[in-house]
Structure 1
Amino acid sequence: MVAGAAATYFGLRNMGSMAEYNASVAATRSALKQAPGTSDLIRYATLAANSHNTQPWLFKVSDVGIEILPDMARQIAIVDPDNHHLFASLGCAAENLAIAGSARGKPGELSFNPANDGAVMFAFGGRTPIEPALFDAIPKRQSTRGDYDGKAVSSRDLQTLSAAVAVPGVDHVLITDRPRIDRVRDLVVAGNNAQIADAAFVRELKTWLRFSPRQAMVTGDGLFSASTGNPTLPEWLGRVMFDLVFKAKAENEKYARQLASSAGVAVFVAQKDDREHWVLAGRACQRFALQATALGLKHAFINQPVEIAGLRPELATLVGMPGRRPDLVMRFGYGAALPFSARRPAERVIIS
Structure 2
Amino acid sequence: MSEVHQGRRRLLAALTVGGGLVAVGGGPALVTNARGLSGYEGAIIATWRHSDSTDLPLSSARRELVRYATLAANSHNTQPWQFRLSDRSVLVLSDPGRRLPAVDPDEHHVFASLGCAAENMVQAARAFGLRAAPSYDPAARGIRVDLEAAPPERTDLFDAIPYRQSTRALYDGRSVPPEHLRLLETAGNGDGVRMLLFTERQQREDILSYLVAGNSAQMDDVAFVEELESWIRFSYGEALSTRDGLFSKSSGSPVLPGWIGRLVFSQVFTRDAENRKYESQLRSSAGVAVFVSDKNEPAYWAEAGRSCQRFALQATALQLRHAFINQPVEVPAVRGQFATYLGIGGRRPDLVMRFGYGPELPKSLRRPVEHVILGA
TM-score normalised to structure 2 length: 0.90
Structure 2 Cα separation of the partners of residues 2 and 266 of structure 1: 47
Establish whether residue 13 from structure 1 lines up as the match of residue 36 from structure 2.
no
Unmatched 5+ stretches in structure 2: 1-18
Q: Retained in 2: the 8 A contact 1:313–1:324?
A: no
In structure 1, what residue type is equivalent to 2:300? H
TM-aligned CA deviation for residue 22 of structure 1 = 1.9
**Counterparts of residues 108-127 of structure 1 (less than 5 Å):** 108-116=132-140, 118-125=141-148
What secondary structure is seen at the aligned counterpart in 1 of 2:290? strand
Q: Retained in 1: the 8 A contact 2:128–2:152?
A: no
What secondary structure is seen at the aligned counterpart in 2 of 1:279? helix
Q: Retained in 1: the 8 A contact 2:22–2:260?
A: no
Query: Where does residue 301 of structure 1 map in the other structure?
Result: 324
TM-aligned CA deviation for residue 185 of structure 1 = 0.7
Establish whether residue 211 from structure 1 lines up as the match of residue 234 from structure 2.
yes
Query: Where does residue 269 of structure 1 map in the other structure?
Result: 292
Structure 1 Cα separation of the partners of residues 86 and 133 of structure 2: 15
Structure 1 Cα separation of the partners of residues 152 and 271 of structure 2: 46
Q: Retained in 2: the 8 A contact 1:87–1:278?
A: yes
In structure 2, what residue type is equivalent to 1:27? A
TM-aligned CA deviation for residue 4 of structure 1 = 5.7
> What is the alpha-carbon root mean square deviation over aligned residues?
1.6
What secondary structure is seen at the aligned counterpart in 2 of 1:17? helix
TM-aligned CA deviation for residue 35 of structure 1 = 2.4
Q: 1:7 to 1:274 in 2, by over 3 A?
A: same
Establish whether residue 153 from structure 1 lines up as the match of residue 176 from structure 2.
yes
Q: 1:243 to 1:108 in 2, by over 3 A?
A: same
Q: Retained in 1: the 8 A contact 2:291–2:352?
A: yes
In structure 1, what residue type is equivalent to 2:54? Q
Structure 2 Cα separation of the partners of residues 128 and 259 of structure 1: 42
Query: Where does residue 373 of structure 2 map in the other structure?
Result: 350
What secondary structure is seen at the aligned counterpart in 2 of 1:221? coil
**Counterparts of residues 161-176 of structure 1 (less than 5 Å):** 161-176=184-199
Query: Where does residue 114 of structure 2 map in the other structure?
Result: 90
Question: Deviation per CA, 1:56-94, whole angstroms, max 9, x where unpaired?
Answer: 000111112111110011000000000000000000000
Q: Retained in 2: the 8 A contact 1:108–1:128?
A: no
Q: Retained in 1: the 8 A contact 2:129–2:151?
A: no
Structure 1 Cα separation of the partners of residues 250 and 43 of structure 2: 14
Query: Where does residue 250 of structure 2 map in the other structure?
Result: 227
Q: Retained in 1: the 8 A contact 2:129–2:150?
A: no
Q: How many residues align?
A: 351
TM-aligned CA deviation for residue 307 of structure 1 = 0.2
TM-aligned CA deviation for residue 240 of structure 1 = 1.1
In structure 2, what residue type is equivalent to 1:22? E
Structure 2 Cα separation of the partners of residues 281 and 237 of structure 1: 38
TM-aligned CA deviation for residue 320 of structure 1 = 2.7
* Alignment partner of 1:35 out of 51, 55, 60: 55
In structure 2, what residue type is equivalent to 1:268? F
What secondary structure is seen at the aligned counterpart in 2 of 1:49? coil
TM-score normalised to structure 1 length: 0.96
Query: Where does residue 87 of structure 2 map in the other structure?
Result: 63
In structure 2, what residue type is equivalent to 1:14? T
Structure 2 Cα separation of the partners of residues 2 and 86 of structure 1: 43
Q: Retained in 1: the 8 A contact 2:173–2:357?
A: yes
Unmatched 5+ stretches in structure 1: none
Structure 2 Cα separation of the partners of residues 340 and 87 of structure 1: 23
* Alignment partner of 1:284 out of 307, 322, 332: 307
Structure 2 Cα separation of the partners of residues 238 and 345 of structure 1: 26
**Bigger shift: 27-36 or 102-111?**
27-36
Query: Where does residue 124 of structure 2 map in the other structure?
Result: 100
